[in-house]
C-alpha cells in the first residue's frame, strides 16, 4: 500500500452527524440549541411510574429501521442504531467519496460509556424468566461497548484504525481527541469519531435514581436541567449519538471540503479522587484545560467560548467553576460559558461529542448557545453562563469540557480556520 499522507499534522472537522433530543441532523439540533429549546419530557420509552425520576431527554423521532436493514434494526441495541445514523449523517455532511484506497486510510473511533444496556437488560430478564437456552446469541456482540464503532466500520467498509474509548461521560471527547492524534501522527487520513449512549431503560433509570444523582423536578421537565443555577437538584438523563468526520488539513483542502473548525489542543487528566465525585477544587478539570491550551500553544485569554460540562448537579457545577477560574485566572470572568446540557440533558458517553459539535458550530456561525433555566444565581457559580438567550460573539477559540465517573477529565480546544 502506497502512502501519500500530508504531514502538516493539522486536523480539521469536515462533517457532523447528530442524533439528539433536540433533533436528528446537525442543523435542526443547532437551531434548537440557539433558540434555547428543551428536549426534556416525561419518559416514554418505559413506564416511569416506579421511579423517583420520571423525566429524561429522549430522541423522540428515532427509528432504527430508517437507518439499517429491518432484520438488523430489530436485533441491535438502540445505541448501535443511533451510532449508525449519526455516522451516516456525518459522512453525508462531509460529501466524501469513499474510494477503495481511501477506505484503508479511514478509521472509526466511536465509544460508549455503558454500551448496549438495552440488550443487556432484556436478556438478563429473559435469562431469569425463561432460562439460559432462551438468551440471544447476539447478547454479547450487541452489548459490548466497542460494537457501535464496529458496526459503523462494517457497514461503511472503513478499514483504518478502529478503537472504542470507555471513559464514562468523557467518552465522546476522548474518542475525538484520540482520533485527532491518529491523524496527527499520520496513521490515517480521515476518522469518524464521537460517542453514543442509549441508557433510558428500567435498569438505567433505576441505577441513576439509586445514586441520587438525577433531578426529580417531574412536574416541570423542561425546567429541570438548570446548570449553575442555585435551585439545581441533579442532572437529567439523556440519550444521543454524535459523530464527526475528522480529516488531515491538506486532504480536506485538496478535495474542496467545507471546514467547520480545526482541533488544536487535547488535554486529559485524572482526578485521582473518587469513583463518582469530582475533586472539590476541580484539580483534574483545571489541569485538563491547561494541558489543552499548552499543547496548542494558546494562552487562556485567547479563548472566547467554553462549552462547560455543567451537568446541573449541586457539587459538580461549583467545582467546574473553580476549575475554570484556576485555569483562566482573571479571564474566567470575561469568557462566555454555556452548558447545552440545560437543553439536551446529560447524554453520558455522547456528551463530549455533541458538545464538541456545539463548539465547532459556534465557531462557524460566531454564535454562542445559552444556558437555559438560569434563573437564580448561585454565589458559588459566579461566571458568565450566557443565561437563557443566544449571544453573537467573535469566536477564534472554543473549548469543550467533559468529565466522567472515575475521575476522567478531557478538554478539547477548537480554532477557527
- Catalytic positions are 169, 309, 346
Which ranges constitute the DSSP H helices of 66-201? 70-75, 78-94, 100-103, 117-130, 139-143, 147-156, 171-184
Instruction: Report the Cα 170 to chain-centroid distance in Å.
Output: 8
Q: Pick from 61, 63, 76: which is nearest to 116 by CA?
A: 76
Judge residue 332's burial from the number of C-beta atoms within 10 Å of its C-beta, 0-12 exposed, 13-18 middle, 19 or more buried.
buried
Q: Which three cell numbers stand for residue 6?
A: 500530508
8 A C-beta contact, residue 366 and residue 393: yes
Which run of H or E residues covers position 307? Answer: strand 305-307
- The Cα 241–Cα 92 span in angstroms is 16
- The Cα 200–Cα 378 span in angstroms is 30
- The Cα 112–Cα 349 span in angstroms is 5
Judge residue 38's burial from the number of C-beta atoms within 10 Å of its C-beta, 0-12 exposed, 13-18 middle, 19 or more buried.
buried
8 A C-beta contact, residue 18 and residue 361: no
DSSP per-residue codes, 225-266: --TTBTT---B-BB-EEEEEEEEEHHHHHHTT----EEEEEE
Question: What is the chain's Cα-based Rg?
Answer: 20
8 A C-beta contact, residue 309 and residue 401: yes
Say whether 302 sits in a helix, a strand or coil: helix
Q: Report the half-sphere exposure of 413 (CA within 13 A, side-chain side).
A: 24
Q: Pick from 415, 406, 112: which is nearest to 284 by CA?
A: 406
8 A C-beta contact, residue 29 and residue 267: no
Amino acid at each position: 500500500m502506497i502512502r501519500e499522507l500530508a504531514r502538516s499534522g493539522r486536523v480539521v472537522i469536515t462533517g457532523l452527524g447528530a442524533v439528539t433530543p433536540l433533533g436528528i441532523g446537525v442543523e435542526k439540533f443547532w437551531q434548537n440549541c440557539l433558540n434555547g429549546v428543551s428536549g426534556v419530557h416525561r419518559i416514554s420509552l418505559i413506564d416511569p411510574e416506579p421511579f423517583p425520576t420520571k423525566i429524561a431527554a429522549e430522541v423522540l423521532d428515532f427509528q432504527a429501521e430508517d437507518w439499517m436493514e429491518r432484520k438488523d434494526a430489530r436485533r441491535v441495541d438502540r445505541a448501535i442504531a443511533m451510532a449508525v445514523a449519526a455516522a451516516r449523517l456525518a459522512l453525508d455532511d462531509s460529501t466524501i467519496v469513499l474510494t477503495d484506497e481511501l477506505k484503508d486510510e479511514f478509521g472509526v473511533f466511536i465509544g460508549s460509556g455503558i454500551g448496549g444496556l438495552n440488550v443487556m437488560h432484556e436478556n438478563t430478564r429473559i435469562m431469569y424468566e425463561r432460562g439460559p437456552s432462551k438468551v440471544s446469541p447476539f447478547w454479547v456482540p450487541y452489548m459490548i461497548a466497542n460494537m457501535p464503532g464496529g458496526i459503523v466500520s462494517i457497514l461503511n467498509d472503513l478499514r483504518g484504525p478502529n478503537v472504542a474509548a470507555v471513559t464514562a461521560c468523557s467518552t465522546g471527547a476522548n474518542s475525538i481527541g484520540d482520533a485527532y492524534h491518529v491523524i496527527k501522527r499520520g496513521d490515517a487520513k480521515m476518522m469518524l469519531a464521537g460517542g453514543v449512549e442509549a441508557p433510558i431503560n428500567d435498569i438505567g433509570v433505576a441505577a441513576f435514581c439509586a445514586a441520587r444523582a438525577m433531578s426529580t423536578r417531574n412536574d416541570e421537565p423542561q425546567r429541570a436541567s438548570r446548570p449553575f443555577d442555585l435551585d439545581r437538584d441533579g442532572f437529567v438523563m439523556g440519550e444521543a449519538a454524535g459523530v464527526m468526520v475528522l480529516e488531515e488539513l491538506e486532504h480536506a483542502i485538496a478535495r474542496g471540503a467545507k471546514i467547520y473548525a480545526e482541533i488544536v489542543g487535547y488535554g486529559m487528566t485524572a482526578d485521582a479522587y473518587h469513583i463518582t465525585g469530582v475533586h472539590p477544587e476541580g484539580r483534574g478539570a483545571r489541569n485538563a484545560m491547561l494541558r489543552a491550551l499548552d499543547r496548542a500553544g494558546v494562552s487562556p485569554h485567547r479563548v472566547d467560548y467554553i462549552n462547560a460540562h455543567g451537568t446541573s448537579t449541586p457539587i459538580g457545577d461549583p467545582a467546574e467553576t473553580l476549575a475554570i477560574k484556576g485555569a483562566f485566572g482573571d479571564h474566567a470572568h470575561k469568557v462566555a460559558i454555556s452548558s447545552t446540557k440545560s437543553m439536551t440533558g446529560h447524554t453520558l458517553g455522547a456528551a463530549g461529542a455533541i458538545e464538541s459539535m456545539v463548539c465547532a458550530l459556534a465557531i462557524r456561525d460566531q454564535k454562542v448557545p445559552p444556558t437555559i433555566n438560569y434563573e437564580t444565581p448561585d454565589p458559588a457559580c459566579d461566571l458568565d453562563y450566557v443565561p437563557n438567550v443566544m449571544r453573537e460573539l467573535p469566536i477564534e477559540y472554543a473549548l469543550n469540557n467533559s468529565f466522567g465517573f472515575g475521575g476522567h477529565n478531557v478538554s478539547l480546544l477548537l480554532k477557527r480556520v
